[in-house]
Structure 1
């Protein structure tokens, strides 16, 4: 497996920790959490790789930052906080399908039957992993989770179309996070999504979220997209809910059922099929 695929895999696994952190350690204020996540990640990356983008890239960085950070983060946390039982992860699993369709329309890359098979298997697998009986479905949460997935998918496809700005990856990623962070901070101020006092636990969680679950993973994610394409990178996001399942078992004692383990096996099989499909296309 190539270094880019390993980077995408590591990113998806790290993102799996976000669910545990969000439900157990962060305040229940999605706009605030999203803004701190983006701005913290931006400060970290720009501190280690400061570069100014060329003027002709400002518009594209604004669009990419809005899609990959502003819209994605804001709607992601709304979905996670309103959809119990990990249902939001099902909509995240639709990301590979969204990327295939968007790449087909924007990049004129016709998906193969094996690629469609792999993402269909992934959706089935993730559904078995996270969906439980008796879960109430919140309409706003569903809309937010679905829209966040489409936003991140479109951002990845546009990165394929435009390429990378002529600056380092840390700066390229950091500027996108800064754009989204400023947008989310403005939303937080407008709606007053502050809540009560911030605890020490919240501060520690914010630091982990900004650096370990945002700055570093997004740097790896964007590198992988630039090298092997969004179509080959997005399927690894299926590992995020699988990681969340493992963490629930380890830290909360929620032992997975046989159905959930079957779902994990199907997700792994889907990744193998996707890898074989990418080799056949390549």
Structure 2
């Protein structure tokens, strides 16, 4: 497996910790959490790789930052906080399908039957992993989770279309996070999504979220997209809910059911099928 695929896999696994952090350690204010996440990640990356982007890239960075950070983060946390039982992860699993369709329309890359099979298997697997009986579905949460997935997918496809700005990956990622962070901070101020006091636990969680679950993973994610394409990277996001399931078992004592373990097996099989599909496309 290539280094880019390993980077995408590591990113998806790290993002699995976001669910545990969001439900147990962060304040229940999605706009505030999203803004701090983006601005903190931007500060970290720009501190280690400061570069100014060329003027002709400002518009593209604004669009990419809005899609990959501003819209994605804001709607992601709304979905996670309003949808119980990891239901938001089901809509995240639709990301590979969205990327296939967007790449088909924007990049003129016709998806193969094996690629469609792999993403369909992924959706089924993730559904078995996270969906539980008696879960109440919130309409706003569903819309937010679905829109966040489409936003991140479109951002990845546009990165393939435009390429990378002629700056380092740390700066390229950091500027996108800064754009989204400023947008989310303005939204937070406008709607007054502050709540009560911030605890020490919240501060620690914000630091983990900004650096370990945002700055580093997004740097790896964007590198992988630039090198092997969004179509080959997005399927790894299926590992995020699987990681969340493992963390629930380890930290909360929620032992997976046989159905959930079957879902994990289907997700792994989906990744194998996707890998074989990408190898076949290269021949």
Normalised by the size of structure 1, how large is the TM-score? 1.00
List, as ranges, runs of 4+ consecutive aligned residues in structure 1 with deviation greater than 6 Å.
none
For 1:1-282, list aligned pairs within 5 A.
Answer: 1-281=1-281
Query: Aligned to 2:194, what secondary structure does the other structure show?
Result: coil
Write the deviation string for residues 18-37 of structure 1: whole angstroms up to 9, x where unpaired: 00000000000000000000
Write the deviation string for residues 75-106 of structure 1: whole angstroms up to 9, x where unpaired: 00000000000000000000000000000000
Write the deviation string for residues 117-151 of structure 1: whole angstroms up to 9, x where unpaired: 00000000000000000000000000000000000
Q: Distance in 1 between matches of 2:104 and 2:265?
A: 28
Q: Distance in 2 between matches of 1:278 and 1:128?
A: 25
Q: CA deviation at 1:10?
A: 0.0
Q: CA deviation at 1:57?
A: 0.1
Normalised by the size of structure 2, how large is the TM-score? 0.99
Write the deviation string for residues 189-235 of structure 1: whole angstroms up to 9, x where unpaired: 00000000000000000000000000000000000000000000000
Q: Distance in 1 between matches of 2:76 and 2:27?
A: 15
Query: Any stretches of 5+ residues in structure 2 without a counterpart?
Result: none
Q: Distance in 2 between matches of 1:220 and 1:279?
A: 21
Q: Distance in 2 between matches of 1:247 and 1:271?
A: 21
Q: CA deviation at 1:14?
A: 0.0
Q: Distance in 1 between matches of 2:178 and 2:279?
A: 36
Q: Distance in 2 between matches of 1:235 and 1:8?
A: 9
Write the deviation string for residues 234-263 of structure 1: whole angstroms up to 9, x where unpaired: 000000000000000000000000000000
Q: CA deviation at 1:169?
A: 0.0
Q: Distance in 2 between matches of 1:280 and 1:45?
A: 36
Q: Distance in 1 between matches of 2:86 and 2:59?
A: 35
Q: Distance in 2 between matches of 1:279 and 1:226?
A: 17
Number of residues of Structure 1 aligned to a counterpart in Structure 2: 281
Q: Distance in 1 between matches of 2:24 and 2:247?
A: 12
Write the deviation string for residues 170-202 of structure 1: whole angstroms up to 9, x where unpaired: 000000000000000000000000000000000
Q: Distance in 2 between matches of 1:121 and 1:91?
A: 14
Q: Distance in 2 between matches of 1:20 and 1:197?
A: 21
Aligned CA RMSD, in angstroms, stands at 0.1
Query: Aligned to 1:244, what secondary structure does the other structure show?
Result: helix
Q: Distance in 1 between matches of 2:255 and 2:180?
A: 37
